[in-house]
Structure 1
Amino acid sequence: MKAAQISQNQLLLFLILYFYSTLVGFSASNLIHISQYDTILVLCISGLTAGIYAYFTIKLANRRPNEFFFHYGKDIFPQWIHILFMGFYFFSFLHTSAFVLREYEDFIVQTYLGGTPNWAVGGLLGMVVAVTARSGIQTLFRTAQGLFFLILIADVSNTIFIGKELKWDRWMAFITNHSGHGIFAGTYTTIPFFGEVIVLVFIFPYLTQKNKTLKTVFWAIVLGLLLIIVNFVFLLLLFGPNLASHITYPMLEMVRYIRIADFIENLDPFLISIWSTTVYLKISLLFFLSVQILAQFFRLKDHRPLTFSLAAVMVALSLQMSGGSAALTSFYTNSWATYSYFIEGIPILYLLMDTLKRFIKKRSAKNNKGM
């Protein structure tokens, strides 16, 4: 089966939206609570770490650029270990997609559709995600490419219209207010958001101009980080760290400050609907990867027969998760980061093992030649 083709431009735009989606929408309050005015420094450190993740991940993928990680991984580690790791990835991608879906369900129900059951929201979005995954990964990246500039215009407009409400005298706090514990704790929690760049090892065969991937990803990290930082700076200047950390969805409250004359008010449904597409893109990619891994487990040439049944599992899993923003925040703070470091470090283990095996093989060949 001929692999779908994803251009470097599509990869760039998709990754920017991927980084932006849940970090700004769902995790802003928690990150500001932990790091206060050090949030900007935390984001910069996390972005730098993402570049390191990307370098090692792409280096591993470049060694077998046209093969899928699921297939060549057994040549690096013993097959049973490789299968175990792939099982971890299948569960991780499916669980993360269900978790983000649950966050979105709670957000929509609490904010706009009070009294609507979560299963209705989750079922509708789950169906859209399943259709997207069934259409293939190229459709997903083309969708991101088409929506990117609309999302960018909406975000830039938001920051422009909210500028007059900012309390600019808070600028000095970014220079004077620092906490070592806040920087460490915030960085530890935030790095996994950017560490999800390791998904590249699974989609690498789909990419065109593979030799430019590292440059593309670095630009995606820089531009995505810039977009995220602007939003966090505006949050801190508008609300301050104490108020922002006690608002469940501070970005929503910031959007609600927008007033254009006396006849255009309450733009938040429009802007939030645009932002929601970034969440949809992230869920769709993670779900697609879980479907792809499962299809490779069953040695299926086509992943499409699995999409709707696995989407039902994803929705059911999201509904079974502990509800409420407090419970979700507790999971992120106490469990998710540590688990993510394990999952995101696996490609580095493969790279180290592959490098070691190549070194041993090369040295053995040299000794045999010398004899």
Structure 2
Amino acid sequence: MEKARISSLQLFLLITGFLFGSTLILNPATGAKNDGWLAILISGAGGTLLLAVYASIALLNPSKTLVEILRHRFGRVIGNIIAVLYIWYFIHLASLALRNFGSFIVTTTYPKTPLEVIVGIFVLVVMYAVNSGVEVIGRASEILVPFVPVIAVIISLGILTVHDFTAFLPVLENGISPVIKASLNLLTFPFGETIVFLMIFPHLNKRENLKKVSTLSALSATGLFLFIFFRDITVLGSHLIYQATFVPHLTSVLIPGINLEPLFNVNLIIGGSIKVVICMYAAVNGLDQLIGANDYRKFTTAVATFCVVLSIWVYENIFEMFDWAENIWLYYSIPFQIVIPLMLLFLSLIKKGNPAHEKSIE
């Protein structure tokens, strides 16, 4: 494993930026229409618990990455099989985030530019960041991620005169079912995706801060999601927010006399790049630990190339992208985000006080 270390602030910013990620493009909370704020609150609470589970797994298995924990707790054979599945999951997640970013840029900003060109240029920057190491990634987050809430506030200030503060009423107009569905979707996208940080947690220089940092990150992202939701719904109304393709982008172009779309694109690039970088870094490090190559950079080019190809192939069009996020991702992700982590937590807890058993596994 890379020996570099990151600070608590850097981990906080990385998780927050990752959660922000491509949620601006595909926001499951809009499925609940004007009750989206309830879905955000419920999923935020669940996401905080999930991150606490992931942090607990890391603390019960100090200095071990997810791949090492899987082999340690499930045994080498079963652990390696599950590790391969997780590496695929990280690669798939990076590819989906690449496609989200590429589809948005092609649809809204550069309609005459081929998707392959947008994704290819973007992934070159990602490769450079991954090869630079986790310490450089952490330092970059200190510079870039603070712009995310600042830009969100700037866009909000520009539309203060256009609002309807009753747009989210009445509460539960369509019943509880849409809220529950949107909450579960938002729980797995993006909160559950932070399982990838089990490949990053061992780099934290102060392990005792891990749970605090994870909790604050989840709460901060939830607060930002709520802020953006109320901003968008008071401007667009519940019907338009449900029908629009890219809701926050639509809000950013409504300000009369000024074009704030570039600011929105900056936010998207920051969040999207952090998400893809973290997923790709986790994937190549997982491969390195699985094979024992002693240098994860050997896999970066191959994994990045595969991600580009997969991102272009995975959807026929933008409607399939939205359908996957809303109707399939939840069921696809549950084993990776909830079932296996809970099993790992259980095994780590019951074996915590048995040094002889721990030694025999080693």
Give the TM-score normalised by the residue count of structure 1.
0.90
Query: How many angstroms does 1:42 deviate by?
Result: 0.8
Within 5 Å, give how 1:129-140 maps onto structure 2: 129-140=126-137
**Aligned pair in 2 of structure 1 residues 133, 77: CA closer, same or farther (>3 Å)?**
same
Q: What is the Cα-based RMSD across aligned positions, in Å?
A: 1.9
Correspondence 1:329 to 2:322: yes
Correspondence 1:295 to 2:288: yes
Cα pair 2:35 2:168 within 8 Å, conserved: no
Report sequence identity in percent: 21
Query: How many angstroms does 1:176 deviate by?
Result: 6.0
Counterpart in 2 of 1:59?
A: 56
Counterpart in 2 of 1:369?
A: none
Cα pair 1:26 1:249 within 8 Å, conserved: yes
**Aligned pair in 2 of structure 1 residues 187, 274: CA closer, same or farther (>3 Å)?**
closer
Query: How many angstroms does 1:225 deviate by?
Result: 0.9
Cα pair 1:58 1:200 within 8 Å, conserved: no
Query: How many angstroms does 1:274 deviate by?
Result: 3.5
Distance in 2 (CA, whole Å) between partners of 1:306 and 1:198 is: 21
Correspondence 1:163 to 2:160: yes
Distance in 2 (CA, whole Å) between partners of 1:172 and 1:37 is: 7
Correspondence 1:354 to 2:351: no
Greater helix content: 1
Distance in 1 (CA, whole Å) between partners of 2:66 and 2:148 is: 32
Distance in 2 (CA, whole Å) between partners of 1:114 and 1:171 is: 33
Query: How many angstroms does 1:217 deviate by?
Result: 1.3
Cα pair 1:15 1:220 within 8 Å, conserved: yes
Counterpart in 2 of 1:368?
A: none
Query: How many angstroms does 1:171 deviate by?
Result: 5.0
**Aligned pair in 2 of structure 1 residues 14, 2: CA closer, same or farther (>3 Å)?**
closer
Query: How many angstroms does 1:6 deviate by?
Result: 0.9
Cα pair 1:248 1:325 within 8 Å, conserved: no
**Aligned pair in 2 of structure 1 residues 362, 91: CA closer, same or farther (>3 Å)?**
closer
Counterpart in 2 of 1:236?
A: 233
* Secondary structure at 1:66 match in 2: coil
**Aligned pair in 2 of structure 1 residues 355, 241: CA closer, same or farther (>3 Å)?**
same
Query: How many angstroms does 1:267 deviate by?
Result: 2.2
Distance in 2 (CA, whole Å) between partners of 1:16 and 1:2 is: 22
**Aligned pair in 2 of structure 1 residues 236, 355: CA closer, same or farther (>3 Å)?**
same
Cα pair 2:34 2:168 within 8 Å, conserved: no
Query: How many angstroms does 1:2 deviate by?
Result: 5.8
Counterpart in 1 of 2:199?
A: 202
* Secondary structure at 1:162 match in 2: coil
Name stretches of at least 5 consecutive residues in structure 2 with no aligned partner: 358-362
Deviations for 1:25-57, whole angstroms, at most 9, x for unmatched residues? 1123x531x211221111111111112112222
Counterpart in 2 of 1:27?
A: 26
Q: Which amino acid aligns with 2:282?
A: L
Deviations for 1:274-296, whole angstroms, at most 9, x for unmatched residues? 43221111111001111111111
Distance in 2 (CA, whole Å) between partners of 1:113 and 1:253 is: 16
Determine which structure has more spread, i.e. the larger CA radius of gyration.
Answer: 1
Query: How many angstroms does 1:71 deviate by?
Result: 2.3
Distance in 1 (CA, whole Å) between partners of 2:356 and 2:289 is: 34
1:190 corresponds to which of 171, 186, 191:
186
Deviations for 1:250-278, whole angstroms, at most 9, x for unmatched residues? 1111000123xx5xx22212431343221
Bigger CA drift: 320-329 or 308-317?
A: 320-329
Counterpart in 1 of 2:311?
A: 318
Counterpart in 1 of 2:9?
A: 9
Cα pair 2:35 2:172 within 8 Å, conserved: no
2:86 corresponds to which of 89, 94, 103:
89
Query: How many angstroms does 1:219 deviate by?
Result: 1.1
Counterpart in 2 of 1:179?
A: 175
Bigger CA drift: 285-294 or 68-77?
A: 68-77
Moved over 6 A (4+): none
Aligned length: 355
Distance in 2 (CA, whole Å) between partners of 1:352 and 1:101 is: 34
* Secondary structure at 2:160 match in 1: helix
1:106 corresponds to which of 95, 103, 106:
103
Query: How many angstroms does 1:178 deviate by?
Result: 5.3
Counterpart in 2 of 1:276?
A: 269
Within 5 Å, give how 1:115-126 maps onto structure 2: 115-126=112-123
Distance in 2 (CA, whole Å) between partners of 1:71 and 1:53 is: 20
